[in-house]
Structure 1
Amino acid sequence: MSDIKENLKQLPLGDWHRGLGARMVPFAGYEMPVQYEGVMAEHIWTRTEAGLFDVSHMGQLQLTGEGAADALEQITPGNLSALAAGKIRYTLLLAQDGGILDDLMVTNTGRNLYLVVNGATKHDDIAYMRDQLPDHVTLNHLEDAALLALQGPKASAALARLDIQPLEEGWPVPADLYFMEAGPFMWNDIPLGISRSGYTGEDGFEISVPAEHVVALATALTELEEVRPIGLGARDSLRLEAGLPLYGHDMGPELLPVEANLNFALSKVRREEGNFAGAERVLAQYPDNAAKKRVGLFVDGRQPIREGAAVIDEAGATIGNVTSGGFSPTLQRPIAMAYVPMPLSETGTAITIEQRGKKIACTVADMPFVPHNYHRKPKL
């Protein structure tokens, strides 16, 4: 264990976390805070106030060059070339056979494309993209940037108290951004990239900041009464309640988008064009022709089920698997995600899970388990 710890990368905020009493654990090759005062308390605080997460392990990338969006579309199924300046799109990085290599956020900054990819896969993602993208498109890894996520119903009011101003004329202040919008800003002469996004199901923001200034920003935020630092434990329980899949657990290279219940990431125009990596195999499953599907589960009783538990049929044969599970602090009951045969994926279907020799009754549930609280633009 000591050798593992010595090989872990350190976050720019590592000493700051330890100074606040965080319990640090290995995650995605980094030493990261799993909790401060306890997962349950931190989860509830984020649902009712505003929680500050350090997600600097994530990969922040920049694509520049003529036709960068068109080039990226060759390995993603999102309609990125139509993405307006200041807008964000969730998409999937696909292998040549259509398997999911990662999920990512793509922002059109008006000057280039800004990508956020998962921390555990970022170096493989970079190598794959550099191999697939044309020479005139340049990919830069923004290794000198940290990333914070401020999440919760009071996140907008808290951020407004820091007097953050648009970097360019015509951009709104952060509080006036809607969900999946972003812009360039300045705070105390420090440039920030702020998006109204996150992975908790709550309203909130992700803030890209030069690593040398992240301590100042994190300190200023947590000095606000409604903001507390939150660890990985609550981030996981929050995203599970929100029905959001975690790469490496609920999706991976052996899975296709339809199986992963990510049909919304296959935009209509790209389905019609059919010119992205693995399109023939991916579209053969669309919209519901896959043999299996990721679903949500309500678990009977109080015992949580965990990743790796088996979905079984009446004869006891394994027919699927649990990929995420835990106790929902908001609902006060165990919930999970699992892959089940497509005929068993309808809401209300009874499912049996076997965990450590014990059979547990479950029911297929709609996701998200807890309604999203995003600040969406009103529909006209």
Structure 2
Amino acid sequence: MSDADSSAGTGADTGLESVGPHLESVVAGALADRDVAAFVHVGTARDPGVRYCQSILERRLRPGEDRDVVAVAFDGDEWLTETTDGTVSHPAETLADRLANRGETEPDAEPRTILTPAAIPHDAALYLERAGFDLASTAVLERARATKTADERERIAAAQAAAGVGIRRAAALLADATIADGRLVADGEAVTPTRLRTAVDAAIVEAGAFPAGNTVVNPDSGHVPSSLDGASAGDGTSTGGTTEDQPLAPGEPIVLETAPRGPAGYHGGLVRTLVVDSDGGKERRAHVAVTQAFRSAAAMLTAGAESVTSVEADLEAEIRAFGEDGAVETRVSGVGLESRERPLAGGEDVEPDHVVRLEAAVRVDEGQWLRIADLLAKGEAGERAAYLPAPSQSLDPTALLEE
């Protein structure tokens, strides 16, 4: 099964029944609060918002037609959908006419207002305005997506399990590696970033998910993957060379990052740092600090809702408390139909039923980082926030194989 066969989750999965009632409830509330006629979204079948609506629209979308334009509306009671069907009419134009005909206004009446995402295509907005509607921006769809239903959490957990299978495959290769002329060798061939990335991706596919181009080895501080785009100095600047085929060395941290997508379109997100033949240097101290920071973040999110900024600051504070005074990076974001989605901005809260990716990194040497990322599901207030099952955070490759 190739990555293209997944159709990005457009109508392929019928086990997301809980999404529809949740989405309708959130959107209906927004319509009532703002006293508007309807909510409208327009995008291709690959658009995350369109894909999110598939639990309601799946019988009306054409699976596999990723470039089809889909226009969808909800008036508080009923969903209307139009898709590309080979006619000259744009789906948004047809949908706008249908909405207008559902509630004709008097000739001198004020235009009716509809809610749309801020990023709705310009041509779609023009069709809606031409039909007599005023447009008002809303983030209601993103808010709905941020809260994960039980069905969605299962899909995310499955993608995360596939990520773990991929990381363990790379760990097995490193556990079997020997040292020859200062480089890592396995089965008579050098261990390179490309070889590790290929191993991770192959295992993810075998586990029933899709790498989605998100697997990287030794990303720099800007997350530029050395295994895909060539070398970097670890500070966001290029070294001018390429490293994807350069043998990896013992005693140096090897960062593996992956965010596979499952058949329903939901992502995982996992980062591990492994060291072969470690001498117990800076990476060991950094590892203790980072793993403690993850425990602190879970306790913080168990206590109540916190902003993305607060969680990122707590991660860094815990790392600093262990004496790390060099470069430290922390990132917190939601995960779902996108590998990074709301809550994303600093002021947005991590609330009950959110699933977030927590990541922390410490620079242990020039061009070398220790990075760890896991997914955490926040429960209701007082309910323990819990990390989704994943391989050990150990630096030792063999430890990931003992579970």
TM-score, normalised to structure 1, is 0.28
Higher RCO (Cα < 8 Å, 6 or more apart): 1
**Bigger fraction of residues in strand:** 1
